[in-house]
């Protein structure tokens, strides 16, 4: 490797002057409150290639559109990271007209952009020439329009932003379905009837699968490839994911996830909501880690507001985040064992521990699952009397003991080892190319954890380690999660001991947050991976753009590749090892 390249390995975003390297194609972003660069779409591929190969910004974390209706523009926003150097992102904005928007695809360079570009096509109607498989991903083929565009209105549309005039100050509560001619949440294009119309929703799903080619060779027998469907109603798809698999005997030839069965229009609703109304909605993204979701979102908005968070609140956030991580990893271990065939017994043990943690969440935030706990500039409630003792008991006594117990039963278990070791190994380069994050990225040998790479809150104060695996196989993923749970306990022990007295919210409780115009990207290391919130404000009470970079969704991009060549029974285990929650995958 040449010396110049070696130096580049550690380049921070600030050190890269893209506008100097590409004076024709790239200019520094000048809009107030925005950062990064603007790239001409025709040069995007060239610039991205340079970022990847010359500057070592190999990790395309997020690619998301914004529709600027007044300007008549559609914009793609890309966040690139250098995982070796850590630190912030290089942000690229590529703009195109919103009538028939077209932007070259980055999928050939960064396979991790695959699903994100499909989502941009599905919801915004942006075409990506060069994308190998550009079809809808969350909605179905044949759906009328691209629903996230600002000029697209849903059947129950009332007004662009909440609070709706009819409700406040008007106070007229009504049932929206009473105003809809069909009495339901539907709207059809003018003149639509069923006559002469044919369904296309399933079209394209099976066509993409290989049909010809010889099957397994068995002497004296002719075999074919078969394509089968798994889900969306299936106990081991962790919700409503659907997989379409082409098999050669028992071996996977091709696998494609089909999603959107829990697409709840989180982002569209989020853009109608006020900033503060979105906090409880984030709970429902990854419903096993609501605290972490809250944290990511309030951080993004705090960046825009420039809000300060009091010490005690920072500690409470860390405490809640880390308990969430332990709960989430325990849950995962239980259900992963389920996927391996140990039906429910391990899960029952894990859930018992999770219940202990949920009890404290309930006592503190008022709800077991949907905590709605964090606020811009702090947290909503302080710990109730007695909670600190319970938490300490958990962090110092109970959880360490339980994690030991898990390891004693599982880590050396012969069946676990033989089902996991060597299965679906993933190299570091591959994991980075697929934009995989979280435990499965670390299992592949990349020492990257946002708590260390770009510390947020007060994470730089704690002493903890980042586990990495060597091969990225299922066993490494399991071990990384167990190790991480231990490290979380270690952080908890420090945080609970140091927890200072004081305020928990800066300023007073507000019903309306004043958010200056601009863009912000807040990302945290959620138990599932990099959870990012991209928020654009135009100074109004509602976010202009609200995007969730969901780790589960992007981690799934690698699933098809990871399953290739493995057996049917492994698919369930490989899928389980990704640790998806459909609320977040489909949003």
Q: Which of 18, 90, 371, 582 touches other proteins (CB under 8 A)?
A: 582
CA–CA separation, 546 and 278 (whole Å): 9
Q: What pairing do the DSSP bridges indicate for beta strands 374-375 and 59-68?
A: unpaired
Q: Which of 233, 418, 497, 510 touches other proteins (CB under 8 A)?
A: 233
Helix (H) or strand (E) holding 252: strand 251-258
Identify which of residues 17 and 203 has a Cβ nearer to other proteins in the complex.
203
74 near other proteins, rule: CB under 8 A: no
Stretch near other proteins under the rule CB under 8 A, chosen from 30-38, 151-159, 318-326, 435-443: 151-159
Q: Which of 280, 445, 455, 541 touches other proteins (CB under 8 A)?
A: 280
List, in sequence order, every residue forming a beta bridge with 529; answer none if it has no partner. Answer: 526
Q: How far is the CB of 373 from other proteins (least distance, A)?
A: 15
Stretch near other proteins under the rule CB under 8 A, chosen from 15-23, 143-151, 376-384, 433-441: 143-151
Number of residues binding to other proteins, judged by CB under 8 A: 63
Q: The tokens of 186 are what?
A: 């539907």
CA angle 19, 116, 531 (to 5 degrees): 85
Where in 90-158 does DSSP place strands (E)? 90-97
List, in sequence order, every residue forming a beta bridge with 520; answer none if it has no partner. Answer: 535
Q: How far is the CB of 226 from other proteins (least distance, A)?
A: 21
Eight-state DSSP code of residue 255: E
CA–CA separation, 180 and 463 (whole Å): 57
Residue located via tokens 């302080």: 382
228 near other proteins, rule: CB under 8 A: no
Question: Residues 250-279: x/- map of binding to other proteins (CB under 8 A)?
Answer: ----------xxxxxxx-xx--x-------
Q: How far is the CB of 195 from other proteins (least distance, A)?
A: 8
Q: Which of 40, 368, 398, 461 touches other proteins (CB under 8 A)?
A: 368
Instruction: Enumerate residues 302-361 that contact other proteins by CB under 8 A.
Output: 347-348, 351-352, 355
The answer to whether residues 346 and 482 touch, using CB atoms and an 8 Å cutoff, is: no
Helix (H) or strand (E) holding 120: helix 114-124
193 near other proteins, rule: CB under 8 A: yes
Q: Which of 84, 158, 382, 454 touches other proteins (CB under 8 A)?
A: 158
CA–CA separation, 427 and 436 (whole Å): 11
Nearest alpha carbon to residue 104 among 43, 38, 59, 36: 43
Identify which of residues 369 and 408 has a Cβ nearer to other proteins in the complex.
369
Q: Which of 110, 140, 459, 533 touches other proteins (CB under 8 A)?
A: 140
568 near other proteins, rule: CB under 8 A: no
Instruction: Enumerate residues 28-67 that contact other proteins by CB under 8 A.
Output: none
Nearest alpha carbon to residue 576 among 300, 131, 562, 125: 562
Residues 117-138 as b or e (16 or more Cβ within 10 Å = b): bbbbbbbbbbbbeebeebebbb
* Contact residues for 511 (Cβ-Cβ < 8 A; gap 6+): 276
Q: How far is the CB of 352 from other proteins (least distance, A)?
A: 6
The answer to whether residues 466 and 404 touch, using CB atoms and an 8 Å cutoff, is: no
Q: Which of 5, 15, 165, 199 touches other proteins (CB under 8 A)?
A: 199
CA–CA separation, 92 and 111 (whole Å): 18
Identify which of residues 191 and 385 has a Cβ nearer to other proteins in the complex.
191
205 near other proteins, rule: CB under 8 A: no
Identify which of residues 56 and 289 has a Cβ nearer to other proteins in the complex.
289
Residues that bind other proteins (CB under 8 A): 138-140, 142-144, 147, 154-158, 176-177, 181-195, 197, 199, 201, 232-235, 239-240, 260-266, 268-269, 272, 280-281, 284, 287-288, 347-348, 351-352, 355, 368-370, 582-583
């Amino acid at each position: 490797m040449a010396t110049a390249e070696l130096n580049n390995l550690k380049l921070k975003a600030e050190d890269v002057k893209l506008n100097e390297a590409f004076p024709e194609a790239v200019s520094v972003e000048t809009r107030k409150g925005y950062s990064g660069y603007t790239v001409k779409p025709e040069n995007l591929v060239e610039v991205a290639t340079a970022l990847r190969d010359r500057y070592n910004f190999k990790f395309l974390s997020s690619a998301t559109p914004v529709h600027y209706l007044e300007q008549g523009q559609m914009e793609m926003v890309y966040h690139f990271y250098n995982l070796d150097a850590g630190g912030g992102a290089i942000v690229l904005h590529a703009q195109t007209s919103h009538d028939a928007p077209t932007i070259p695809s980055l999928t050939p360079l960064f396979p991790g952009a695959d699903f994100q570009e499909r989502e941009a096509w599905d919801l915004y109607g942006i075409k990506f020439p060069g994308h190998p498989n550009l079809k809808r991903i969350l909605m179905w083929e044949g759906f009328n329009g691209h629903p996230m565009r600002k000029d697209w209105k849903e059947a129950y549309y009332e007004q662009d932003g909440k609070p709706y005039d009819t409700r406040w100050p008007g106070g007229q509560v009504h049932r929206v379905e009473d105003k809809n001619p069909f009495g339901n949440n539907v709207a059809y294009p003018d003149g639509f009837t069923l006559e002469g119309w044919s369904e296309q929703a399933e079209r394209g799903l099976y066509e993409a699968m290989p049909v010809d080619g010889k099957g397994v060779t068995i002497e004296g027998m002719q075999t074919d490839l078969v394509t089968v469907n798994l889900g969306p109603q299936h106990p081991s798809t962790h919700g409503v994911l659907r997989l379409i698999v082409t098999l050669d005997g028992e071996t996977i030839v091709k696998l494609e996830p089909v999603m959107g069965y829990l697409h709840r229009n989180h982002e569209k609703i989020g853009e109608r909501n006020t900033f503060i109304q979105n906090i409880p909605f984030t709970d429902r993204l990854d419903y096993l880690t609501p605290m972490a979701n809250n944290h990511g979102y309030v951080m993004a908005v705090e960046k825009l507001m420039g809000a300060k968070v009091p010490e005690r609140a920072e500690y409470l956030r860390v405490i809640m985040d880390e308990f969430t991580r332990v709960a989430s990893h325990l849950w995962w271990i239980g259900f992963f064992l389920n996927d391996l065939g140990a039906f429910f017994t391990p899960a029952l043990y894990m859930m018992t521990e999770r219940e202990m943690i949920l009890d404290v969440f309930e006592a503190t935030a008022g709800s077991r699952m949907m905590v709605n706990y964090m606020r811009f500039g702090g947290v909503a409630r302080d710990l109730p009397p007695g909670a600190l003792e319970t938490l300490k008991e958990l962090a110092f006594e109970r959880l360490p003991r339980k994690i030991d117990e898990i390891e004693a039963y599982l880590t050396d278990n012969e069946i676990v080892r033989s089902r996991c070791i060597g299965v679906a190994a993933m190299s570091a380069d591959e994991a980075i190319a697929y934009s995989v994050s979280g435990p499965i990225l670390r299992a592949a040998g990349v020492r990257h954890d946002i708590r260390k790479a770009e510390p947020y809150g007060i994470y730089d104060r704690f002493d903890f380690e980042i586990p990495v695996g060597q091969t990225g196989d299922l066993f490494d993923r399991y071990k990384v999660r167990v190790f991480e749970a231990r490290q979380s306990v270690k952080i908890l022990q420090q945080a609970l001991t140091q927890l200072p007295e004081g305020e928990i919210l800066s300023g007073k409780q507000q019903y309306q947050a004043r958010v200056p115009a601009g863009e912000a990207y807040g990302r945290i290391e959620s138990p599932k991976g990099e959870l990012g919130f991209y928020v654009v404000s135009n100074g109004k009470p509602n976010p202009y753009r609200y995007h969730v970079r969901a780790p589960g969704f992007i981690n799934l991009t690698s699933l098809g590749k990871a399953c290739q060549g493995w057996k049917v029974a492994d698919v369930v285990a490989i899928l389980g090892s990704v640790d998806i929650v459909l609320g977040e995958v489909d949003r």
